[in-house]
Amino acid sequence: MVRKAAALVSAGRPTAPPRNVLFIELAEMGTTVLAAPAVQQLRARYPDCKVFFLLFKHIDASMRVLDITPDEQVLTIDVSNLASFTRDSLKVLRQCHQLRIDTVINLEMFARFSSILSYLSGARTRVGFHAFTQPGLYCGNLLTHRVLYNPHLHTWQSLRALVDALDEPPGDVPFGKIAAAPDRDCVVAAVTSSDSERAAMWNLVAASNPGLRNKRLVVVNPNASKLIEIRKWPLPRYAELVERLLADPANACVLTGIASEHEDAQFIVDRVKNDRLVNLVGKTSLRQLIDLFNIADVLVSNDSGPAHFAALTGIHIVVFFGPETPVLYRPLSPRVTTMYSHYACSPCVSAYNQRKSACTDNRCLQVIGVDEVHQTVVDILNRGAKAR
């Protein structure tokens, strides 16, 4: 009732240009890359505004890599335990009021916590996706600009629509009655590596085998977020692919991932047993991962955050889709090859079901054979497709 009364009082008032804007993207590191065009559009339209970003602390490295906003304008919540989560949530709300946040753009599609934070921030303008007749998207009714989520647009376009909604006439139902951003507006700044950063990465890759410096590098990311594990191409397929790639003495492979994914990487190492296979799982920061992409030729990956960060470099990306679709989540790079089976049940994971699937047998990924993937990677390597 309080929210409705406040909405009635503020209805029809002229909306001042945003001055202090907070983007909220809590948990999905890859989404920070997909949100970059939206941030660019906001700055182009309102050059005097200050941009703040709120995310969970364990993914805050993405802000430093993207250089979207200064470090002091990045707010974080530590979710490692209940005490830190509570402490930081209250701290963030105090910061929002101290910083006089006037506009919140909630990039989350179904997380109610982000909607609550938006409302309690004190921001007069709160933009986000609203359920309307799509109950899977429901995250409360605390928005001033309720944008309709369109599952037929790429995610970067959907996130850009949140920024565009700021210029729509007040009272639109739903917001989003504007032309979708064209592909030419999808510009993501490249992240380069200095000569010293490249040299340091080569030193790490070739630490146990100096001969790797002259090889073509294929980076292999066999993991995906534990939130949606059915996005994984089968691990034995990865092992077979690596083994076949290393049958060519001109190639070397590097395994990547976070420390908790060590077991999967060790499975591949034990199966392949080759001194041109380097296991860097748990041994690189996000910034170093970018450096690795900048010296390598191809990345083979499940649909996950590393594929999106690879789009900031010149590496060619081969990425598997099945439970999710490349129509919505294709990395923002011209050098991407998607492997997708187009099964009738795919995609089964979406914002509509809060990215939860009943599937326990991801045949949409299993049907993608090693022969097909191997030939795709070989063709890319032979074309020398990497933009160095």
Domains (range + CATH), the chain:
2-185 (3.40.50.2000), 195-383 (3.40.50.2000)
pLDDT of residue 41: 94
pLDDT of residue 111: 82
- Is the CB of residue 50 less than 8 Å from the CB of residue 19? yes
Q: Which residues are bridge partners to 56 per DSSP?
A: 77
- Is the CB of residue 235 less than 8 Å from the CB of residue 302? no
- Is the CB of residue 321 less than 8 Å from the CB of residue 303? yes
pLDDT of residue 8: 39
pTM of the model: 0.90
| Residue corresponding to tokens 């309102």 | 46
3-state secondary structure of 166: helix
pLDDT in tens, the chain (388 residues): 444 444 433 433 446 899 999 999 998 888 999 999 999 999 999 999 999 999 999 999 999 899 889 999 999 999 999 999 999 999 999 999 999 999 999 999 878 899 999 999 999 999 999 988 887 788 888 999 999 999 899 999 999 999 999 999 888 899 999 999 998 889 888 999 999 999 999 999 999 899 999 899 999 999 876 667 788 999 999 999 999 999 999 999 999 999 888 999 999 999 999 999 999 999 999 999 999 999 999 999 999 999 999 999 999 999 999 999 999 999 999 999 999 999 999 999 888 887 788 888 999 999 999 999 999 999 999 998 444 4
Query: Which DSSP string corresponds to 359-371?
Result: -S--HHHHTS-HH
Cβ-proximal residues to 217 (8 Å cutoff; 6+ apart), any chain: 205, 251, 252, 253, 254, 295, 296, 297, 298
Q: Which residues are bridge partners to 354 per DSSP?
A: none
What's the rounded Cα separation, in Å, for the pair 293 and 7? 48
224-244 burial, b at 16+ Cβ within 10 Å, e below that, comes to bbeebebbbbebebbbbbbbb
3-state secondary structure of 279: strand
* Nearest one of 322, 343, 351, 341 to 128, comparing CA atoms: 351
Cβ-proximal residues to 108 (8 Å cutoff; 6+ apart), any chain: 24, 25, 26, 114, 115, 128, 129, 139
pLDDT of residue 385: 46
